Structure 1
C-alpha cells in the first residue's frame, strides 16, 4: 500500500481484513461527516459537554483508521473541554483545525477509494 499523509489503510486492513477496507472507509466517511456536523453545531451552541463527547467519539474512530494527527487534535479538544473555567467554545481555532483535517482526510480517503476501484 502507498504511504498516505492523513490516514493508514494498513491499520484498517489489520483490523477488518484487506477485502473490507473500502467498505469500512466508506462507512467512516459517512460517520465523519455527521460527527463533524454535530461537533460544529454543539460548538456553536456552546454545549461543552457534547463537544467533549463528540470529540471523544471522533478521536476513537480516527485512531481506528490511523488518522493519528487528527486524533491528537480531538484529544486536545476533549482535554481542554474538561477545564470548565475556560469555555472552549468561546474561540473557534481548534474547530477550524478539525474542519481542515476532516476535509483533507476525506479528500485522501476518496483518492484511495478511487485508486482501489
Structure 2
C-alpha cells in the first residue's frame, strides 16, 4: 500500500487490534460524516458553543485514527472559539479547510479499506 497521508491505521490497530481496524474505520467514516454535517450547520448558524463542542469531538476521533494534522486544525478551531470577541463562524474559509481535509481523509480511508478488504 502506498504511503498514507491523512491517517495511520497502525494507531488504530494498536488500540483495537489488527482484526478490528476495518470495522473501526468504517464506523469512523459514519461518525465523521455526521459530525461534519453538524459542524457545518452550527457554523452557518453562528452557534459558537456547538462549533467548539463538535470540533472537540471531531479532534478526539481524528487523533484516535492518527489524523494528527486534522486534529491540530480542529484543536485550533476549538481554542479560537473560546475568544468571545472574535466570532470564528465569520471565518468561512476555516470551515472550507475542514471540509476539504475530511473529504481527502474519507477518500484515503475508503481506498485503504478497499485495498485490505
TM-score, L = length of structure 1:
0.98
SS of structure 2 residue aligned to 1:66: coil
TM-score, L = length of structure 2:
0.98
Q: Offset of 1:25 from its aligned partner?
A: 0.1
Q: Which residue does 1:116 correspond to in 2? A: 116
Across the two proteins, how many residue pairs are aligned to each other? Answer: 117
**Deviation sequence 1:70-93 (CA, Å, 0-9, x none):** 001100100000001000001201
RMSD: 0.9
Unpaired segments ≥5 residues, structure 1: none
Q: Which residue does 2:79 correspond to in 1? A: 79
Unpaired segments ≥5 residues, structure 2: none
Q: Which residue does 1:68 correspond to in 2? A: 68
Q: Offset of 1:2 from its aligned partner?
A: 5.0
Q: Which residue does 1:92 correspond to in 2? A: 92
**Deviation sequence 1:56-81 (CA, Å, 0-9, x none):** 00000000000000001100100000
Q: Which residue does 2:24 correspond to in 1? A: 24
List structure 1 segments (4+ residues) > 3 angstroms apart after TM superposition: none
**Deviation sequence 1:21-58 (CA, Å, 0-9, x none):** 00000000000000000000000000000000000000
